[in-house]
Amino acid sequence: MDKQGNPVMVNVASKSITHRTATAQAIVDLPDEVIDLLQGDEIQTKKGPVLQTAILAGIMGAKKTSDLIPLCHPLGLENCKVTLRFNSSRQLEIQCTAEITGKTGVEMEALTGVSIAALTVYDMCKAFSHDILIKEIKLMAKSGGKRDFNRAK
């Protein structure tokens, strides 16, 4: 906030340029019948293949973070990777890792990436069931800024 109490973007002009990475994770609980469809042959919906579309949506979401979150700096991501896998509890685990060499971190880009990927899975699977739960969207790790962070799974 500025002296008048108005929101302002954080000034990063004097920060050093460093290589920065962040990884975020989302967990999606799906009903067994939807999991069976996803673990078999890729579900083909009218919108396309579910998992591949979610990967593309996650990358696109990460790239658009500054358009979605007020006061986020627009960043030219150098790398963004979204992965989806079923964990031992039969939950869909989505991870997004974003990278940049710059003056500000990419945590919000990684968090936005997993959120948009999870929402895409919901959107594409809701025709099979609305009993889908998106949960545990969290930062897993970040490096390259003032403080590194690493969450134990």
Active site residues: 123
| Residues 6 or more apart in contact with residue 57 via CB below 8 angstroms | 116, 117, 119, 120
Residue 40: count of CB within 10 angstroms of its CB: 8
Cα–Cα distance measured from residue 80 to residue 57, given in angstroms and rounded to the nearest whole number: 12
The answer to whether the beta carbons of residues 101 and 120 sit under 8 Å apart is no
Cα–Cα distance measured from residue 65 to residue 73, given in angstroms and rounded to the nearest whole number: 9
DSSP character at residue 90: S
What element of type H or E holds 103? none
| Residues 6 or more apart in contact with residue 11 via CB below 8 angstroms | none
